[in-house]
Amino acid sequence: MHHAVDPDTKAVKLIGGKPYSYIENVTQPTITIYAPTTRNTGAAIIVYPGGGFNVLAMDIEGTEVCDWLTSNGVACVLLKYRVPCQHVGAYRECPQAHQDAQRAMSIVRSRAREWKLDPHKIGVMGFSAGAHMAIMSSTRFDRRYAAVDAADSVSSRPDFALVLYPGRMAYRHTNFAPNPDIRVTARTPPTFLVHAYDDDVNPVENSLLYSAALRKAGVPAEIHVYAKGGHAFGLRQTGVSASGWPQLAEAWLKSLGVLGD
């Protein structure tokens, strides 16, 4: 585990007054299950950390997210997916990461009753590159890798998705032409989107275009665009408006019947 540093000053980067860490060179994907610390709702969320498909931000966009979910009665499944990867195509896809995401969902759903989960309340949540994975999980679940075992016969479609400051939906240098490989249909799950207007890594157009596609397909969605927040804020309190999104996400999850009162 490495602390993130500023490439120019070499000083440790701080978000919300604390450093954040990343891991690299992941060759063996794993899932780690965090059980609810309050009354079990039966729901589970598979969390995809960000890191540009080069590294994984395993605390600010991983374990800290699990602490929040488990305190709300939701099982957290933290996916450590393979990085770095050879980027593919004009939108720099990472096929191996998407395969790892599909496999994780099929495993969790196939073991749901054993793990005291409701197989119809299993969602995904991703940040940055991980948010792109959540979009891919939501739109490409019917395109599978060759089956490994019986778990792969179980659907990898998420029941809902939380998508935070995604990329790879559109780029400035192509005048924000939407990624043609992301095809939203009526089967795309209900989605909660969060982005900061001043994000200088993944422009807000990524979330705006995806929410427009969800709207066109008739998929229930909620989008929150904050004036200030930048990129990769996770759940940390940074003194800007974007820090308020977790409470809104809890209300949205309650509206879906994922969280209790």
220 Cβ partners below 8 Å, 6+ apart?
190, 191
Please give the biggest Cα pair distance in the chain. 50
142 C-beta neighbours (distance < 10 Å), count: 10
pLDDT (0 to 100) of residue 261: 66
Domains of the chain: 25-254 (3.40.50.1820)
Whether the CB-CB separation of 122 and 62 falls below 8 Å is answered with no
Average pLDDT for runs of 10 along the chain of length 261: 54 66 92 96 97 94 96 98 90 92 97 96 98 97 87 95 95 90 96 97 97 98 96 89 94 93 66
pLDDT (0 to 100) of residue 2: 64
Whether the CB-CB separation of 42 and 117 falls below 8 Å is answered with yes
pLDDT (0 to 100) of residue 17: 66
pLDDT (0 to 100) of residue 5: 47
pLDDT (0 to 100) of residue 133: 97
Euclidean distance between CA atoms 242 and 193, whole angstroms:
12
pLDDT (0 to 100) of residue 116: 95
Euclidean distance between CA atoms 117 and 97, whole angstroms:
24
